[in-house]
A and B are shown apart, each in its own frame.
Chain A
């Protein structure tokens, strides 16, 4: 192989931009969400074990630490979802010019915060009413 291949940027001398930060965050949230699947599995197994185990799982998840983690996973999920859709458009060859990339990037941030806020607001409102 004599073809010169592109090299990764050297992070020590690389100026962060919206594009690079969002790209790194896509991976970071992906890894964090992979860890979160363990909680989903734990919750499912507790539900399969019966009411006592399920209640215990719910108490853990509803503790301040559990809620903090759930909040982290929810914002990561919405980010990864919105930015993932942005990536799918790129894979289809759409929205690749630099202005569109920045516009959709900002839109992903906005959508992430709105969806996260809306999800928690609705969850607490509905739980409060029920």
Chain B
């Protein structure tokens, strides 16, 4: 995502030597994408999910657009959550070894529940 950096910053090579700027940009892009996705999900909960029985919910998730949006929501939501948690850990954990362990555990955990969520959606959408 270097294309989103200012030409000057690319030429000068200023800033951190690590990948901070790209992460900053990716966090904001996920935030922008989450605005409509979260609104879609909240509106769906209010107007449909709260009064739907099990069969109606399954039929709703199976609609191709809803399957697509749901998986998109999950992927971006967990990306965004992981980016935010990483930032918090970087700011408040000062012991490098503890930080590395907690960071790795957090990332593995987020990846695990992301896969669990996508699998659940696919089981509902594709299940017989």
Write out the residue numbers on chain A whose beta carbons fall within 8 Å of the beta carbon of B31.
84, 87-88
Say whether, besides A27-B88, A84-B31, A126 and B51 are in contact (CB < 8 Å). Answer: yes
Alpha-carbon distance between A55 and B58 when the two chains are bound, in angstroms: 13
Indicate if A105 sits at the interface (CB-CB under 8 A). no
Give the interface SS of chain B, mostly helix, strand, loop or mixed: helix
Binary B-proximity of A20-64 (CB < 8 A = 1, otherwise 0): 000000010011011001101100110110110011000000000
Alpha-carbon distance between A31 and B8 when the two chains are bound, in angstroms: 35
Kindly identify, within residues 74 to 107 of chain A, every residue whose CB is under 8 Å from any CB belonging to chain B.
Answer: 77, 81, 84-85, 87-88, 91
Count of chain B residues near A, Cβ 8 A: 31
A41 touches B116 (CB 8 A): yes
Alpha-carbon distance between A88 and B25 when the two chains are bound, in angstroms: 11
Indicate if B45 sits at the interface (CB-CB under 8 A). yes
Q: Which residue of B lies closest to A36 (CB)?
A: B81
Using a CB–CB cutoff of 8 Å, the interface residues on chain A facing chain B are 27, 30-31, 33-34, 37-38, 40-41, 44-45, 47-48, 50-51, 54-55, 77, 81, 84-85, 87-88, 91, 119, 122-123, 126-127, 130
A-B contact pairs, 18 of them (CB 8 A): A30-B81, A30-B88, A34-B81, A34-B84, A37-B113, A38-B113, A44-B120, A47-B57, A50-B54, A51-B54, A54-B57, A55-B54, A81-B38, A87-B31, A88-B31, A123-B46, A126-B46, A127-B50
Known contacts A44-B117, A88-B28; can you find 4 more A-B pairs with CB under 8 A?
A: A41-B120, A51-B54, A81-B38, A126-B51
